Chain A
Amino acid sequence: MSAREAFRVAMQALLANRLRSALTTLGVLIGVMSVVLLVAIGQGARSEITGAIEGLGSNLLFVLPGDGDFGGGPRRSSFVLDDVERIDRELLGGGTRVAGYTIGSEALQADGERLTATVLAVTASYPAVLSRELARGQGLTESDVVTSRRVAVLGATTAETLFPGQDPIGRTMAIGGVRYRVIGVLARVGGGGSPFGPDQDRNVLVPITAGQRLFGTDRLDAIFVRAAATQTVDEDRAVVRRALEQRLDTEEFSVISQDEIIGVVGDILQILTLVLAAIAGISLLVGGVGVSNIMLVSVSERTREIGLRKALGARTRDITGQFLLEAIVLTGLGGAIGLVLGIAGAELVAAFAPVPAEVTGWSIALALGVSVAVGLVFGVLPARRAGQLDPVAALRRD
Chain B
Amino acid sequence: MSVDDGPDGTPVLLEAIDVVRTYRLGRDVEVPALRGVSFRVDHGDYVAIVGSSGSGKSTLLNLLGVLDRPTSGQVRYDGRDVRELPDAELARLRNQRIGFVFQSFHLLPRLTALDNVILPLVYRPGSKRERRQRAEAALASVGLADRMAHRPGELSGGQQQRVAIARALVTEPALVLADEPTGNLDTTTGEDIMSLLESIQAEQDTALVVITHEPDIAHRAARTIELRDGVMADGSSP
Contact = CB atoms under 8 A, between A and B. Distances in A.
Interface of A: 1, 5, 9, 12, 16, 304-305, 308-318, 391-392, 395
10 contacts: A1-B122, A9-B122, A308-B106, A312-B100, A312-B120, A312-B123, A313-B171, A392-B62, A392-B68, A395-B102
A304 B106 contact: yes
B120 A313 contact: yes
Contacts of A315: 87-88, 91-92, 123
Interface residues on B, range: 20 to 34
B87 A313 contact: no
B95 interface: yes
Contacts of A308: 106, 108, 119
B65 interface: yes
B43 interface: no
B110 interface: yes
Contact of A313 (B91, B102, B110): B91
| B62, B91, B124, B167: residue with the most chain A Cβ atoms closer than 10 Å | B91
B233 interface: no
Nearest to B99: A312
Contacts of B92: 313, 315
A284 to B, nearest CB: 31
Contacts of A314: 91, 123
Given A308-B108, A312-B94, A315-B88, 12 more contacts: A5-B122, A309-B119, A310-B91, A310-B94, A311-B94, A312-B95, A313-B91, A313-B123, A316-B88, A318-B123, A395-B67, A395-B102
B184 interface: no
A325 to B, nearest CB: 14
A1 B123 contact: yes
B96 interface: yes
A310 B124 contact: no
Interface in B41-93: 62, 65, 67-68, 87-88, 91-92
Nearest to B107: A308
A304 B105 CA distance: 11
Contacts of B67: 310-311, 391-392, 395
A19 to B, nearest CB: 16
Contacts of A313: 91-92, 94-96, 120, 123-124, 171
Interface in B11-60: none
A311 B168 CA distance: 11
A9 to B, nearest CB: 8
Given A1-B123, A5-B122, A316-B87, A311 B108 contact: no
A392 B110 CA distance: 22
A323 to B, nearest CB: 15
B138 to A, nearest CB: 13
Nearest to A315: B91
Contacts of A304: 106
Contacts of A318: 91, 123
A95 B25 CA distance: 97
B54 to A, nearest CB: 14
Contacts of A16: 110
A112 B119 CA distance: 84
Contacts of B94: 310-313
A395 B68 CA distance: 12
A278 B95 CA distance: 48
Nearest to B168: A312
| B100, B120, B123: residue with the most chain A Cβ atoms closer than 10 Å | B123
A306 B110 CA distance: 14
A314 B91 CA distance: 6
Contacts of A310: 67, 91, 94
A311 B100 contact: yes
| A1, A16, A310, A315: residue with the most chain B Cβ atoms closer than 10 Å | A315
| B88, B119, B167: residue with the most chain A Cβ atoms closer than 10 Å | B119
Contacts of B95: 312-313
B120 A305 contact: no
| A5, A16, A308: residue with the most chain B Cβ atoms closer than 10 Å | A308
Contacts of B171: 313
A121 B96 CA distance: 91
A388 to B, nearest CB: 10
A279 to B, nearest CB: 40
A295 B124 CA distance: 26
Interface string B106-131: 10101000000001101110000000
A305 B124 CA distance: 18
B85 to A, nearest CB: 12
Contact of B119 (A312, A316, A317): A312
Nearest to B108: A305
Contacts of B110: 12, 16
Interface in B143-191: 167, 171
Contacts of B124: 313
Contacts of B91: 310, 313-316, 318
